[in-house]
Structures are given as C-alpha cells and as structure tokens.
Structure 1
Amino acid sequence: MSKNREEGLVMDIINLQSKIQKRVGGALFVHGIGLSEYFVLNQLYLAPKQKMRRSDLAEQVGLSPSGITRLLNPLEKVGLVEKEPNPRDARVSLVALSAAGKQVYEDAQISFGFASADLFKQFDAKQLSTFSKLLKVLL
C-alpha cells in the first residue's frame, strides 16, 4: 500500500470515528451520557463486583490518570459511580458502579445497540465479520 493510500485510510478511519460519535453519541445523549461515559460505565459493568481500581479503569479506556479523574468527577456528582476505599491498599481508591449507574448503563446499552446496528446496516454478516477481524489486527 502506498503512503498516500495509507494516509487516506487513516483519514477514512478518523471520519468513521466522527460518524460513530455523532450517531451513537447522539443516541446516548437521551440517557445523559456521551460515548466516553458509556465506555467507562461499560468497563465497570463488566468488571468483577462492578468495581475497578482507578488506574486500571484509566488504562482500559485509554485515558491518563488525570483524564479519568476529570471524566469520573461529574459521574460521581450525579451518582452514577462511587468512590470506595481499597481494603488492601489505602493509597489506591476503587471506582464502583452505583445502582443508578447500572440502570443508566443498561438503558443506554439498548440505545447503543440500536445505533450501532443502524450504523452498519448496509453490511451483511460476512462483511461485518471481515471488517471486525481487520480492525482487531490493528487493535
């Protein structure tokens, strides 16, 4: 692949990301969250006991420690996540999904699913599988 084609592909991926943010993020707006918040709630929802160390959560969602703090503070203020002390290490705090956060996530998950399906509706199952495999090579 020539450099120009690779650059064009990167631009296409950036444009796809923008499209995803508009469509899927728009569907999440009715739940009072955006894509970044949804991603955090998703990680907590899937975590054992629905809690994680703040540093592990930051790594999972690709944010710096200060970036995850800036994202979590508003979620904590509205009661979607809770800060918990770590019983094994007082220097490390845990982030837990609250009951309200679990409900918001489960409601938003439905909207996320519909918006995601709509985004890729022009693909058949084989095309989606191929696209998914190609993306996983890069991830």
Structure 2
Amino acid sequence: MDELNNRHGEAALDFCLRLARAQAAMVRRLDAALGGHFGVSFGDFMLLLHLARAPGGRLRRVDLAERQGLTASGVTRTLLPLEKTGLVGRQPDPRDARVGYAVITPAGHTLLDNAMVTAREVSAELLQHAAPGQLDGLAAVLGAVAGMNLTNS
C-alpha cells in the first residue's frame, strides 16, 4: 500500500509541476495576444468575464478577489486601471454603505465580447492536441482542485 501511495504521490507531484509550467506558458500567450489586440492582460480579461457572468454584471470586491485568487488589495489594484479606462465602474450598496460593487460597463462588455474571440482562438491553439473528452475530464479535476463549482467558475 505504501508503494501505491508513493506512486500516486509522485504522479500527483509531476502533474502539479507540469500544470504550473503550462499555466505560466498559457498566461504568457494570452497576455501577449490580449494585450496586443485590446490592451488588457489575461488577468483583466478574467476579471471582466467574472463580472459579466455575475448577476447584474456586478460583484462585491471580496467575491471578485476570491474568484480571481487575489487579495482584496490585489483586486483593488487590478480594478483601478480598468475603472480609469471606463471598462469597470463602482456601485455602492444602497442598504450598506460599507459594501461596494465592481460593475462591468457597456464598454467593458464590448471589449470582453471582442477579446473572447481572441481568447478562444489562443486557447484552442494551446490545447490543439487534446481531445474534447480529455478537456472535460481535466476541467473537472482542475475545478475540484480550485474549489470551483457551477456557481463560482
């Protein structure tokens, strides 16, 4: 049993190391494509996508930070340039002055719609050697590792 656990541990470690390297390569490619065409990073793109998918196109900063895997201050730093360029706005909570929302603007939706085409093309190119069934299985595994479900993807 110990040998089986050791083999599983080695395979799991190898997967994690390869995943980290693949993630870095993926982010570099998406940053370059999205930055070159639309002036946004892949992180900005993900932030806009999370907002667009949220009810009312808005999320509390703390919820956005969780979905992005950032700290609250990290998400604030990420939002500032997007607010300055008009892609994201701020919206206060009418019932609680301590709560603020980040909201995607019409300009943010337009940029996201256009950037989505490029992101899909780059993603398809990066994963061209994977069968669709493999992608579904890997997405389920990665979602479980990240603690994601259908409501917080």
**Same fold judged by TM-score > 0.5?**
yes
- The amino acid that maps onto 1:11 is L
Structure 2: how far apart are the matches of 1:101 and 1:131?
30
Residues 27-106 of structure 1 mapped to structure 2, 5 A cutoff: 27-29=33-35, 30-106=37-113
Structure 1 unmatched runs, 5+? none
Normalising by the residue count of structure 2, what TM-score does the alignment of the two structures yield?
0.83
> What is the aligned length?
139
Structure 2's unaligned 5+ residue stretches are 1-6, 147-153
The 3-state SS of whatever aligns with 1:121 is coil
SS in 2 for 1:92: strand
Q: Deviations over 1:2-52 (max 9, x none)?
A: 655443322211110111112222221111111111111001101111111
Deviation by residue 1:41-69 (Cα, 9 ceiling, x = unmatched)? 00110111111111221122111111111
- Aligned counterpart, 2:117: 110
Q: Tell me, in whole angstroms, the C-alpha distance in 1 between the residues paired with 2:66 and 2:38.
A: 25
For the aligned residue pairs, the C-alpha RMSD in angstroms reads: 1.6
Percent of counterpart pairs with the same letter? Answer: 32
Taking the aligned partners of 1:135 and 1:10, their CA distance within structure 2 comes to 10
- CA–CA distance in 1 between the matches of 2:99 and 2:143? 32
**Other-structure match for 1:13:** 19
Distance 2:103 2:83 in 1: 10
Q: Could you state the TM-score of these two structures normalised by the residue count of structure 1? A: 0.90
Q: Which letter does structure 2 place at the counterpart of 1:68?
A: V
1:23 to 19, 29, 32: 29
Q: Which segments of structure 1 move beyond 3 Å, counting only runs of 4 or more?
A: 2-7
